[in-house]
């Protein structure tokens, strides 16, 4: 039974789902890094929010870990490259807390417009300072959204309902989508110059870090009010303090900080400054949503291999997973065969599917092909990082789905291009379960790809098979299965043998010297 650690405070709904699905779990929120490191090796899954830091050394200690599930959106607390390198799938729940976070941004916008926290504190202190707290209306004002994805779009919708004009800077927002939502797509400088209120809704990346730098803050309208419910690090906090003090910025509300938990900050106590302790996602509704989603996703993955909302591996539905699984084995074997037989650096791989395979999700099949293909040259390649590693090495990948009728009920073909040219291997599933090679370099040859094997390409000549058998016998190598194929009488022929035990180099040299031999290779599956 797979075992999951819930390492952050989460709605009890997550535990209830693990129990219902038959997944063992422990709930241990608030562990120190060392405590987490000491126990993480016991778990197959890890369910987190933003407090647990899934760093490279935690992942190093996580010897059984298969999946990290983030009950929420941001995954900047997870070292995704390290997780990918270890074959750990990282998932989030991209929509469960979006409405709640958008509402928090709107709430903070109103809090700034009417100075609600200060007015509350003053009133409860018995001061009744009616003349001190003069606010501004939001109606008719311009809201500038930096980032118009899930949360930004919901904020836009709410702001339009409040009769605001909404402009957005988001390089990935299409003009059509902007028109659909009823907002105006602008460049950042235009937004800074026009907005009365600015709200941020981007992840923290190299392109968004310090997007509201001192220079950009100075480009804003005097009296602007700024809300950040996305990630600390999007705004230069020191410059924000300076411009609040100078009166250029009328108000700023931060739910997120560069350093969290933010027990202290130069911004604290600054007039016009409001803060909340990363509460964007903290509503009953959002926490129930994300807890249910993350527990379902982790359970699905550990129990059936279904992949939902993963950030480092293609998705695979629970319904597809059992149908795709046998192809994963076939794909990895064909990739491994093609990789071992490739001569020179691989520059391109084409994965073709025909028959029943053409109806499936091809992405995981491609990942498995590339995993097999790279296995001889990389110890760390796995289904999660294979395509990424291939791209880093400038290996082009193409996927082709054929609707045509074939000799086989289902067929997968892998074609590898090197400086020596293109070579392809193809396989099928016997009984839709068992992987079997059916074609090698365009020659029909059927074989199971298992254990230790010997590949020989030769000219089709009488007596050749006997010489191979003798050479193996003399080297005391027992032949398990023997598969033959040829391009035509007297043409190129292929021998594929499964043998007991390893094939030593001297035997390979002997075989290479046989008359008519073009290529010899010991293969491992």
Ligand X SMILES: O=C(O)[C@H](O)COP(=O)(O)O
Ligand Y SMILES: NC(=O)c1ccc[n+]([C@@H]2O[C@H](COP(=O)([O-])OP(=O)(O)OC[C@H]3O[C@@H](n4cnc5c(N)ncnc54)[C@H](O)[C@@H]3O)[C@@H](O)[C@H]2O)c1
Site string for ligand X, 24-53 (x = CB under 6 A): -------------------------xx---
DSSP states along 245-284: HHTSEEEEEES--SSSS-S--TTTT-TTEEE-SS-TT-SH
Q: Which stretch binds ligand X (CB under 6 A): 70-78, 218-226, 335-343, 477-485?
A: 70-78
| Total residues binding ligand X (CB under 6 A) | 10
Comparison of 8 and 196: residue with beta carbon closer to ligand X: 8
335 binds ligand X (CB under 6 A): no
Comparison of 282 and 424: residue with beta carbon closer to ligand X: 282
What is the edge-to-edge ordering of all strands in the sheet holding 197-200? 184-185, 165-169, 142-146, 197-200, 224-228, 249-254, 273-275
- For the chain, give percent helix, strand, coil, nearest 5: 35, 25, 40
3-state secondary structure of 376: helix
d(CA 298, CA 222): 48
d(CA 188, CA 168): 8
Of the candidate residues 96, 149, 335, 364, the single one contacting ligand Y (CB under 6 A): 149
Cis? peptide before 395, omega within 30° of 0 = no
d(CA 140, CA 162): 8
Of the candidate residues 280, 339, 364, 485, the single one contacting ligand X (CB under 6 A): 280
In the list ligand X, ligand Y, none, the entry touching 406 (Cβ below 5 to 8 angstroms by class) is none
171 binds ligand Y (CB under 6 A): yes
- 500 exposure class (CB count in 10 Å sphere: 0-12, 13-18, 19+): exposed
Q: Which stretch binds ligand Y (CB under 6 A): 31-39, 134-142, 150-158, 408-416?
A: 150-158
The residue nearest ligand X at its CB is 72
For ligand Y, the binding residues in 207-236 under the rule CB under 6 A are 207-208, 229-231
147 binds ligand Y (CB under 6 A): yes
> How far is the CA of 422 from the CAs of 82, 414, 415, 426, in angstroms?
33, 10, 7, 13
For ligand Y, the binding residues in 238-257 under the rule CB under 6 A are 255-256
| β-strand partners of 351 | 399, 414
d(CA 370, CA 383): 8
Of the candidate residues 77, 93, 98, 428, the single one contacting ligand Y (CB under 6 A): 98
d(CA 95, CA 97): 6
Comparison of 198 and 357: residue with beta carbon closer to ligand Y: 198
Contact criterion met (CB below 8 Å) for 346 and 373? yes
Q: Which stretch binds ligand X (CB under 6 A): 71-79, 339-347, 404-412, 477-485?
A: 71-79
d(CA 162, CA 142): 11
77 binds ligand Y (CB under 6 A): no
281 binds ligand X (CB under 6 A): yes
DSSP states along 348-373: EEEEEEEEGGGGS-HHHHHHHHHHHH
Comparison of 278 and 333: residue with beta carbon closer to ligand Y: 278
233 binds ligand X (CB under 6 A): no
Residues involved in catalysis: 231, 260, 278
72 binds ligand X (CB under 6 A): yes
Comparison of 51 and 479: residue with beta carbon closer to ligand Y: 51
Q: Please state the closest distance from residue 254 (CB atom) to ligand Y, in A.
A: 10
Comparison of 50 and 216: residue with beta carbon closer to ligand X: 50
350 binds ligand Y (CB under 6 A): no
152 binds ligand Y (CB under 6 A): yes
| Total residues binding ligand Y (CB under 6 A) | 31
In the list ligand Y, ligand X, none, the entry touching 49 (Cβ below 5 to 8 angstroms by class) is ligand X
Q: How many CB atoms sit inside 10 A of residue 311's CB?
A: 16
Contact criterion met (CB below 8 Å) for 29 and 6? yes
355 binds ligand Y (CB under 6 A): no
92 binds ligand Y (CB under 6 A): no
Report the candidate in 284, 291, 290 with the shortest Cα–Cα distance to residue 14: 291
78 binds ligand X (CB under 6 A): no
d(CA 96, CA 215): 35
| β-strand partners of 429 | 435
In the list ligand Y, ligand X, none, the entry touching 149 (Cβ below 5 to 8 angstroms by class) is ligand Y
**Cα dihedral 223→224→227→231 (10° resolution):** -120
3-state secondary structure of 514: coil
97 binds ligand X (CB under 6 A): yes
Q: Please state the closest distance from residue 281 (CB atom) to ligand X, in A.
A: 4
Q: Which residues bind ligand Y (CB under 6 A)?
A: 73-74, 94, 97-98, 101, 146-152, 169-172, 201-203, 205, 207-208, 229-231, 255-256, 278, 280-281
Q: Which residues bind ligand X (CB under 6 A)?
A: 49-50, 72-74, 97, 278, 280-282
């Amino acid at each position: 039974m797979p075992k999951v650690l819930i390492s952050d405070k989460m709605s009890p709904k997550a535990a209830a789902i693990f129990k219902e699905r038959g997944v063992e779990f422990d709930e241990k929120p608030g562990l120190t890094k060392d405590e987490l490191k000491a126990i993480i090796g016991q778990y197959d899954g890890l369910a987190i929010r933003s407090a647990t830091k899934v760093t490279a050394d935690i992942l190093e200690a996580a010897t059984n870990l298969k999946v990290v599930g983030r009950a929420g959106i941001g995954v900047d607390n997870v070292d995704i490259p390290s997780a990918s390198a270890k074959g750990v799938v990282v998932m989030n729940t991209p929509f469960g807390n979006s409405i709640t976070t958008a509402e928090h941004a709107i709430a903070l916008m109103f809090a700034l417009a009417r100075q609600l926290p200060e007015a509350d504190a003053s009133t409860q202190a018995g001061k009744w300072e009616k003349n001190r707290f003069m606010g501004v209306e939001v109606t008719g004002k311009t809201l500038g959204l930096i980032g118009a994805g899930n949360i930004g779009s919901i904020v836009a919708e709410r702001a339009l309902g409040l009769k605001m004009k909404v402009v957005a800077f988001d390089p990935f927002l299409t003009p059509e989508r902007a028109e659909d939502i009823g907002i105006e797509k602008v460049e950042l400088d235009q937004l800074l110059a026009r907005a009365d209120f600015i709200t941020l809704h981007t992840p923290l990346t190299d392109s968004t870090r310090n997007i509201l730098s001192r220079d950009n803050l100075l480009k804003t309208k005097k009296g602007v009010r700024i809300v950040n419910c996305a990630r600390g690090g999007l705004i230069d906090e020191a410059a924000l303090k300076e411009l609040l003090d100078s009166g250029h910025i009328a108000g700023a509300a931060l739910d997120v900080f560069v350093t969290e938990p933010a027990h202290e900050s130069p911004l604290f106590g600054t007039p016009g400054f409001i803060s909340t302790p990363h509460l964007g996602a903290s509503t009953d509704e959002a926490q129930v949503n994300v807890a249910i989603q993350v527990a379902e996703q982790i359970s699905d993955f550990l129990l059936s291999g279904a992949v939902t909302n993963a950030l480092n591996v293609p998705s695979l539905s629970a319904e597809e997973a059992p149908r795709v699984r046998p192809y994963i084995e076939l794909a990895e074997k064909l990739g491994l065969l093609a990789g071992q037989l490739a001569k020179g650096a691989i520059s391109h791989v084409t994965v073709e599917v025909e028959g029943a395979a053409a109806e499936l999700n091809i992405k995981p099949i491609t990942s498995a092909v590339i995993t097999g293909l790279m296995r001889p040259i990389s110890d760390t390649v796995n289904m999660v990082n294979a395509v990424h590693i291939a791209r880093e090495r400038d290996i082009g990948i193409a996927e082709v789905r054929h609707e045509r009728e074939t000799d086989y009920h289902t067929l997968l073909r892998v074609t590898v291009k090197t400086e020596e040219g293109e070579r392809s291997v193809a396989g099928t599933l016997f009984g839709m379960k068992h992987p079997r090679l059916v074609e090698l370099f365009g020659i029909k040859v059927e074989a199971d790809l298992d254990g230790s094997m010997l590949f020989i390409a030769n000219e089709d000549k009488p007596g050749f098979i006997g010489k191979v058998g003798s050479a193996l016998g003399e080297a005391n190598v027992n032949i398990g299965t023997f598969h033959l194929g040829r391009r035509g009488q007297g043409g190129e022929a292929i021998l594929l043998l499964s043998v007991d035990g390893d094939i030593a180099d001297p035997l390979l040299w002997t075989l290479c010297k046989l008359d008519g031999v073009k290529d010899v290779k010991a293969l491992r599956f």
